[in-house]
Amino acid sequence: MHVLPGIRIRSLLVAAVVLAFSATAARAHVVLDDPNGGEVLEVGSVFTITWHIVIAHNLQNWDLWYSTTGSTGPWTTLVMNLPAGSGQVGSVHTYDWTIPAVVDDSVWVRVRMDNYATDYYDVSNAPFSITLPPNTKMVIVGPGFAPVFQPDLLEIDLDDTVLWFWDSGGHNVVSGPPFMPDGAFDSGATAPAGTVFEVVFDQAFLDANPQPDDVYDYYCEPHAAFGMVGTINVVLPCPADLSGDGEVGAFDLALLLGSWGPCPGCAADSDGDGDVDAFDLAQLLGSWGPC
Output the pLDDT for position 239: 84
pLDDT tens, position by position, 104-131? 999 999 999 999 999 999 999 999 999 9
Q: What is the C-alpha to C-alpha distance for residues 174 and 150, in angstroms, rounded to an integer? A: 15
Which residues, in sequence order, are CB contacts of 184 under 8 Å at separation 6+? 175, 176, 205, 209, 211, 216
Q: In the chain, what are the domains?
A: 28-131 (2.70.50.50), 136-235 (2.60.40.420), 247-290 (1.10.1330)
What angle, rounded to 10 degrees, do the helices at 278-286 and 250-258 form? 170
User: Does the pLDDT at position 87 exceed 80?
Assistant: yes
User: In sequence order, what DSSP letters do the residues of 60-116 get, joined into one string?
Assistant: EEEEEEEESS-TT---EEEEEEEE----STT-EEEEEEEPPS--EEEEEEEEEEEES
pLDDT tens, position by position, 194-233? 899 999 999 999 999 999 999 999 999 999 999 999 999 9
Output the pLDDT for position 26: 44
